[in-house]
Amino acid sequence: MKKNTLISFLVMLPFLYACPAGTGTPSSLQRESSGSYYPTPAPPQDIPAGKYTATELSSLRAGVLPDTSFTNEERKLAGYLVRKTVPVFPMKIGVILYKTGGSLPDGDRKTYVDNFLQTLRNNTDIGQVVEISPNLLPQGSSINEIRALGARFQVSSVFVISESYPFPTENKEAIVTPIDSITGTRTWESFSKVDVYGIDILNGVFIFSISSGIKENKKYNRTSSNIKNPDLLLVRSTADKAWGSLNEKIGVEIKNYKDRVINDKVIPIIAETPLPVL
C-alpha cells in the first residue's frame, strides 16, 4: 500500500512543481519559453496635440502621420500630396462646359464660352484648345470620369466650367420710397457666377481654380411695359462682367501655374524631404 502511494506521488510531482499554488495553468515563464503565449502589449498612449518635440516634428514627412492611424483614405491623400504635374508648354487642353443653370439664354452663354475659348487660343502658353461636348458626360460625373474623357481627346489638362445665373430676386433691405410704392418699382438683385477648374489628366490633381462672381442691384418695375425683359437685362449685365473678369484672370492663373512648375513649387512638400524643425 505504501509503495503504491509513493509511486503515485512521484508520478504527480513534475505536474505539481509546474503549477503555482491556487492555479491549474502553466506559469508565465513556461508559456513564454514554449512560444505559444506572448503577453499583450500595453495600449499606445495618445500624445496630446501640441506636445510633440522638435525631433519628432522634424522627422515628419508628407503623408506620414504622428500616430498609428494610417487608413486607406489617408494613404490616398498622401499620394495626392506628393504627385507632380509635368506639363509641356504650350499646353494641349480640353474645355468642358460641365454645369449650367439659371435664366441666361443659351445663345448668350454660347457667345461667352466662344469668347473664353478664343482667349485661351490667344494665350502663348496654350498650344491647342479642344472643346469637349458636355453631352459625353452625364450629370454628376466624377473627376475620374472627366479625366478618362479628356484622355480620349488626348489632352494633358481639362478646364471644367461651371456657370450659375439665378433669376433676379428682390432686395428686401433696399429702401422703398412712397413713389416706388405707387409706381411698383422695387430693387432687384442679380448674381452671376462662373467657375473654372483646371485638372491634370495624368495625376488627377487640380492645377488651379478660378471663381468670378458679380452682383448688381437695379431699381425697376418688373411689370412695366416701358422696359422689355428688365430681369434679363440685369442678368446679362452681371453675366457679361463675370465673364469679362474670368477672361482676365485665366491668363494670370496659367502664367502662375507655369511659374510654379518651372520653380518646382507645384507640390508644397516632397515625400523624401522632412519638415523643418520648429
Are 119 and 257 contained in the same domain? yes
Assigned domain for 152 exists: yes
Are 103 and 205 contained in the same domain? yes
Grid cell 448674381 in the structure block, residue? 191
Q: What is the pLDDT of residues 34-48, one digit of tens each?
A: 444 444 444 444 444
Residue 278 has pLDDT above 70, yes or no: no
Are 250 and 229 contained in the same domain? yes
Q: How many domains does the chain have?
A: 2
Are 129 and 257 contained in the same domain? yes
CATH code for the domain of 124: 3.30.160.150
Are 57 and 184 contained in the same domain? no
Are 131 and 221 contained in the same domain? yes
User: How confident is residue 140, by pLDDT bands cut at 50, 70 and 90?
Assistant: confident
Residue 30, C-alpha cell as written in the block: 513556461
pTM of the predicted structure, to 2 decimals: 0.70
- H or E stretch at 162: strand 157-164
Assigned domain for 14 exists: no
* Main-chain dihedrals φ then ψ at residue 24, nearest 5 degrees: -120, 20
Q: What is the pLDDT of residues 46-81, one digit of tens each?
A: 444 444 444 544 444 545 555 555 677 877 877 787
User: Sign of the C-alpha dihedral, residues 143, 149, 153, 159?
Assistant: negative
Question: Which whole number is the average pLDDT over 228-250?
Answer: 96
Assigned domain for 110 exists: yes
Assigned domain for 34 exists: no
Mean pLDDT of the chain: 79
Assigned domain for 45 exists: no
Are 76 and 190 contained in the same domain? no
Assigned domain for 209 exists: yes
Assigned domain for 272 exists: no
Are 70 and 113 contained in the same domain? no
Grid cell 461651371 in the structure block, residue? 162
Domain that holds residue 68: 52-82
Report how far residue 162's alpha carbon sits from residue 158's, in angstroms, rounded to the nearest whole number.
13
Are 178 and 69 contained in the same domain? no
Q: What is the pLDDT of residues 112-138, one digit of tens each?
A: 999 999 999 999 999 999 999 989 988
Are 64 and 144 contained in the same domain? no
Return the SS3 of 86: coil
Are 136 and 251 contained in the same domain? yes
